[in-house]
Amino acid sequence: MSAPNPGSLLNQLVDTHWKTAARHAWRQFEERGRGAIVFTVQPSANENERTPLKYLTFNDEAAARDGAFAKLHELIQAYDPEEEIVAAAVLPDERTVFEVYDREPAPREA
């Protein structure tokens, strides 16, 4: 059996945990500014085991624009925090996938 597609996995995580992710994103945005919700995917995660969400922000704007996470930085600078979240998943093989999502309820209402 092949490994799941990283983008599909992130979509599934966001769809399954939208309210929690949106609420956390809004609270963190109000406290820390623009950033991304980060899901850490465990290789053998038990369905009942919860992994805390993380919130990633950039402290060094110049390094972020030019570094390995330049696209993620671009998404974080462009999203509408009242209506959208930037979500990322760190996979067991250390790859990272990220995207902007908008679902109901909006983060400010979650």
The CA-based angle 67-73-77, given to 5 degrees, is: 150
- Taking only the tens place, the pLDDT of each residue in 56-68 is 999 888 888 887 7
Instruction: Determine the average pLDDT of the residues in 84-94.
Output: 93
Tokens of 106: 């909006």
Higher pLDDT, 6 or 36: 36
In a domain, 54, yes or no: yes
Tokens of 6: 């990283």
Structural domains counted in the chain:
1
Higher pLDDT, 41 or 48: 41
pLDDT at 1: 43
| Nearby residues of 11 by Cβ (< 8 Å), 6 or more positions away | 99
In a domain, 75, yes or no: yes
In a domain, 109, yes or no: no
- Taking only the tens place, the pLDDT of each residue in 7-19 is 899 999 999 999 9
In a domain, 1, yes or no: no
State the residue range of the domain holding 89: 6-104
